[in-house]
Chains A and B, each alone.
Chain A
Amino acid sequence: GEDVEQSLFLSVREGDSSVINCTYTDSSSTYLYWYKQEPGAGLQLLTYIFSNMDMKQDQRLTVLLNKKDKHLSLRIADTQTGDSAIYFCAESIVTMPYKYIFGTGTRLKVLA
């Protein structure tokens, strides 16, 4: 079945780059997304990439998509303490009736 997998935890020092990884199984995804969830809040869209793109850059964020390996990554440059949160990757799939699968989330902790 369709699945999206992420590692559970990542810890980095302030000022370093963070790389959060995600693997997915369904190759019919149309868009892939990264969402951020801060404590006690809902998910907030960070960025998305269309499935026929390899890379997208948006200020400190860089998304890389390897369709052959079904691997998606989010790189955060110059990570700040305010980036500490849970990051979810997700894919939308044209063939599914409700079209969305979320990963279980990666908790990023930024150390000062």
Chain B
Amino acid sequence: NAGVTQTPKFQVLKTGQSMTLQCAQDMNHNSMYWYRQDPGMGLRLIYYSASEGTTDKGEVPNGYNVSRLNKREFSLRLESAAPSQTSVYFCASIQGGTDTQYFGPGTRLTVL
């Protein structure tokens, strides 16, 4: 099993550009989350999907959109990137029962 995979690993954007971060899991988990990690602020939830076909806003959704394409895939889109969106983005899928989260390796995004 690959677990949770994310692409790309690194990305540099100019202000105003758009891009989509991809995430996939092969553990048959229902729930998937997108976080951003900034120095000294821990993890902040951007969006989550409790099951295929549903998505909901987390703490910091402004400037982002998501798509739960199927049970495996959950993508995060930046429509018009801003320097404040420079961060490390993590996708996670959640195992039911213990609610344990399995994280991808992250995407390091810089917006100039």
Residue numbers of A with Cβ under 8 A of B are 8, 30-31, 33, 35, 40-45, 48, 88, 90, 92, 97-100, 102-105
Contacts and interface: CB of A to CB of B under 8 A. Distances in A.
Contacts, number: 51
Contacts of B58: 98
Contacts of B40: 8, 104
Contacts of A103: 42
Nearest to B91: A42
Tell me which of B40, B48, B101, B106 has the highest count of chain A C-beta atoms within 10 A of its own C-beta.
B101
Q: How large is the interface on B (under 10, 10 to 19, 20 to 34, 35 or more residues)?
A: 20 to 34
B79 interface: no
Q: Is the interface of B mostly helix, strand, loop or mixed?
A: strand
Nearest to A94: B99
Closest 3 CB pairs of A and B: A42-B103, A104-B42, A92-B99
Interface of B: 4, 33, 40-43, 45, 48, 56, 58, 90, 92, 98-106
Contact of A43 (B45, B90, B99): B90
B98 A88 contact: no
B106 to A, nearest CB: 5
A33 B48 CA distance: 19
Contacts of B33: 98, 100
